Amino acid sequence: MGKDWRNLMSARTSMLSLARASASLMARQSSVRAARGGGPLPWGVESHGFPGHGSSVPFKVVGASNASIAARVASLIALGIGLPIYGVIHSNRNN
């Protein structure tokens, strides 16, 4: 179980860092595209300028507060951690 646990933690760390990098890149690309006038942002997102230029965030999700976004992110992270652990615990039950 020790080796499986280390492999699971390594995979989880890789998955979380990839998700963070992907989200950061998507936000950066969307805000740059809007600033250049290169078309609309993705569905439900409005441009609000850049930090230091009249806004504290480069984009805003329409109809969603920071708390609701944080709650959704936390639940997705919990699922990303909890489901693999549950699978490892129950995978060798009948062996």
Q: What is the pLDDT, as a whole number, of residue 70?
A: 81
Q: What does the alpha-carbon distance between residue 24 and residue 14 come to, in Å, rounded to a whole number? A: 15
pLDDT of residue 42: 54
pLDDT of residue 91: 79
Residues in the chain with pLDDT < 50?
A: 51-52, 54-56
pTM of the model: 0.31
pLDDT at residue 40, as a whole number: 54
Spans of all domains in the chain: 2-91
Question: What are the tens digits of pLDDT across the range 77-87?
Answer: 888 888 888 88
Q: For the range 25-32, what are the long-range contacts, defined as Cβ-Cβ under 8 Å and sequence gap of 24 or more?
A: 27/58, 27/59, 28/58, 30/59, 31/58, 31/59
Contacts of 4 (CB under 8 A, 6+ apart): 88
